[in-house]
Amino acid sequence: MSNILSVRNLTKKYTSGNKELIVLNDVSFEVEAGESLAIVGPSGSGKTTLLGLCAGLDRASEGNIFLKENDLKLLTEDQRASVRNEFVGFIFQNFQLLPTLSAIENIMVPMELRGIKNAQSKAVELLSRVGLENRADHYPVQLSGGEQQRISLARAFANEPDILFADEPTGNLDADTGEKVEKLIFDLNKEKGTTLVLVTHDMELAEKTDRIIRLKAGQLVNQYQTAVAS
C-alpha cells in the first residue's frame, strides 16, 4: 500500500518573547492509505500541534510533511487550503461548526467551496446517515454536543476525503454519546475507505485504531500495531 502521509524530521518551535519553545522535536512516521492511527500522549506533549501540521493548518519550523505526495512546506496558504478541501476532513473536540449557519448549511460548506452542484441533496443524505435529518434547519447553539459532533462528522465526510483528522472527537461528550459518535466515525471510515488520524487521551479509543504513536515532550517515544491491526 502507498503512503498517504509522510512526516519526516518534523520540528515545531514557538517563540514567546525571547524564549523559544520546542513543541515537536524531530518527529518522523508514515501513514498508509486506509490505515487508522491514534496519536496519544500526556497534555502538552504536542499531539494537537502534530495533527494541525499534518493537516496543513500550520507551518513546520523544520522537516517535511507529504500529504498525498504534496510537500506542504512548498505550498502557499491558498494551495494548502485547496489540498485540505480536496483530500482532508476534520473533526474537532469543540466541534467548530459555523455558528451562523444551520446544520445543513454547515455540511454543505466544503461541497460548495469545491463547486459541487447537488450539494444540498448530498448534505441531506449525510444528515440522515448521522441520524439528524430532522435537525437540518437548526443552528449549532440549538443542538446538543453530541448532535453538533455528528453534524461535524457529516461535514468532515462531505467531500469524500482521503484522510480524516480527528482531534479528541469524543473529548467533550458523555460516555454514551461518545460511544455513539466513535462508532459512527469508524463505521463511516470503513464505509468510505478513508484514512483516519486521531488524537486522543482515551486509550480505549486509541486501541480501536490500527496503530498507536506515543508522544512525550514533543518527541515520538514509541509506536506499535494494535490488536485491531493484527
Partner 1 sequence: MAWRDARQNKSKLALFTSSIILGIASLVAINSFKFSLQKDIDAQAKELLGADLLIRGNHEISDSLNMVLDSLNGERAYEKSFSSMVFFPKNGGTRLVNVRALKGDFPFYGIIETNPPEAAQSFTDSKSILADQTLMLQYEAFSSDVAKLGNAEFEIEGQLIQAPGQSGIAATVAPPVYMPLEYLEETGLEKRGSRIQYLHYFRFEEGRDIEEILETLDPYIESEGLRIDTVEERKEDLGRNFNNLAGFLNLVGFFALLLGSVGVASSVHIYIKEKLNSVAVLRCMGLKGFQAFLIFFIQILGMGFIGSLIGAILGSLVQLYLPLAVKDFLPFEATFQFSLAAFIQGLFAGLVITTMFSLIPLAGVRNISPLKTIRADYDGNKLNSDPLTWLILSLIIVAVFLFGYWQMNELLDAFVFSGFVVGSFLVLGLISYLSIWSIKRFFPSGWSYVARQGLANLYRPNNQTLILVLSIGLGTALISTLFFIQSLLVNQVTLSGKGERPNMILFDIQSDQIDDIVKSTDDFGLPIMQQVPVVTIRLKEINGKSKLELEKDSVDEENEIPDWIFDREYRVTYRDTLIDSESDWKGTWGDKKYASGLVPISIEKDYAERMNVEMGDTLTFNVQGAIMKAEVAHLRSVDWNRVQSNFLVVFPSGVLEEAPQFHVLMTKAETPQKSADYQRWLVSEFPNISAIDITLILNTVDEILSKVAFVIRFMAFFSIATGLIVLIGSVILSKLQKIKESVLLRTLGASRNKILKINLLEYFFLGNLSALTGIALSILGSWTISYFSFEMDFTPDYTPVVYIYFTIVFLTVLIGQANNRTILNNPPLEILRKEAA
Site for partner 1 in 154-183 (CB under 8 A): 155, 159
Regarding 196 and contact with partner 1 (CB under 8 A), the answer is no
| Part of the chain binding partner 1 (CB under 8 A), chosen from 77-85, 172-180, 207-215, 217-225 | 77-85
| Part of the chain binding partner 1 (CB under 8 A), chosen from 62-70, 75-83, 188-196, 218-226 | 75-83
Helices (H), the chain: 47-54, 77-87, 103-114, 119-129, 145-157, 175-192, 203-206
Q: In what order do the strands lie in the sheet with 163-167?
A: 88-91, 163-167, 195-199, 36-40, 211-216, 219-225
Among 62, 112, 125, 133, binds partner 1 (CB under 8 A): 112
C-alpha cell at 212: 498507536
Q: Give the residue from 42, 32, 48 showing the smallest Cα distance to 210.
A: 32
Among 21, 98, 203, 221, binds partner 1 (CB under 8 A): 98
Regarding 85 and contact with partner 1 (CB under 8 A), the answer is yes
The residues pairing with 222 across neighbouring beta strands, listed in sequence order, are 214
129 close to 154: Cβ distance less than 8 angstroms: yes
Among 43, 100, 121, 230, binds partner 1 (CB under 8 A): 100
The residues that touch partner 1, with contacts defined as CB under 8 A, are 49, 52-53, 57-59, 77-78, 81-86, 88, 90, 96, 98-101, 109-110, 112-115, 139, 141-142, 155, 159
